[in-house]
Structure 1
Amino acid sequence: MDGQRISDEDLARQIRDGNEPAFEALVHRYHRPLLGYLHRMCHDYHLSEEAAQECFTRFYLTRARYKYPKPLKPYLYAIAANCLKDYLKSAYARRVIVHDPAPGMGSGRVAAESQAPFDVCHGAGDRGDPQDEAVRRLERREVVEAIARLPYTYREALVLRFYQGLTIREISQALEVPEGTVKSRLFTAVQRLKESIGDAARPCDGPKRTRRGECK
């Protein structure tokens, strides 16, 4: 089955009706993006993989609840976000230390990785968005480290927007918060990144840049 020829929502409807190849196509389509999102949030590859598998399992077991043509992307990310929070709670209970866990999971820390084991930096959003432009001007290592230091709710919104390419509406649906709240979290997240990294987030006064994109 060529899952790329049909929409996410049509795939979900076919899965709901018992079409196994449709489920395989959905996993093929979303495994990498969801894994990237989960890893950006917890910086633990094995935990991310477990949460991703659990996400697909939960979707399949509750497939009858899907109401066509409800947008599938935010629906899946909502499941993934909940799976990760459940896994982080479990990890914390086993004394696995995590960085700034989701609300209600205590406190902890994990070192920010300079680069994920796979490329998750895609779908950076619409060109011309001032927030997108600010993030694009940052060094990759600095971005990863600064994002890891953000409070969970800000990091969550920022990763979904700039790394996973979700729209404001999709993030609102995935996190079940108003669009205004999403915009506020994104604004605050970007401002904190600028404060954390400093001049790396600011445009050059002149047109000259180094090969690495730094201002001269």
Structure 2
Amino acid sequence: MKPVWSPETASKAYIDTVKSCELFQESSVAELVSAMAAGWNAKLIVETWSENGVITTSIGLAVASKHTSGRHVCIVPDEKSRTNYLELMSKSGFSPEVLTGEPEEVMAGLSGIDFMVVDSRKMDFARFLRLAKLSSKGAVLICKNASTKTASSFRWRGVLDAGSRLVRSVFLPVGKGLDMAHVATNGGSASTSGKQSRWIKHVDRQSGEVHVIRK
């Protein structure tokens, strides 16, 4: 099954995320990942979250999952984080599925991931990526807070298994840095109509906003 980009769904998710995050500052990351997950038509969206983490990214992914009729799963380290996370999300009107436990335990039950967001500030973020069972159509993987020291030595090829290949990666100066990769698997194709997909970055000179378009 080949991935098909939907600009209309991406736009709707972007607008709805702007509305849902209007009370929060620095929601640009949430709006971007929401539009990308929706445009990718992601059916299994997975993210990691820990105490004091930014909640807007989760809101954006929850919005995207509604537009794609997909499953949104958030992985947290313990029950305290789970309680706090659900309280924060409920205030915004969302109640995603939440899993707790070690990476090996929780990732074993998630198969067919086609969109994943991890926090580069956490030492175990690369473990989650290595253990991810990706969809046959490939996946978009994102490391947020990628400007941190923890992520300084990170390389995408170091977390991909033999059944996956890196199609394209890009770093965007959005929020505290987004390191994104489009990954293809042996079970699917990384391109449509025989052409390799690519991301185009556009920076609005007046507002300074960064926009990413996948072609």
Q: Same fold (TM over 0.5)?
A: no
Higher-strand-fraction structure: 2
Q: Please report the TM-score for the alignment, with normalisation by the length of structure 1.
A: 0.28
Which of the pair has more CA radius of gyration? Answer: 1
Q: Please report the TM-score for the alignment, with normalisation by the length of structure 2.
A: 0.28
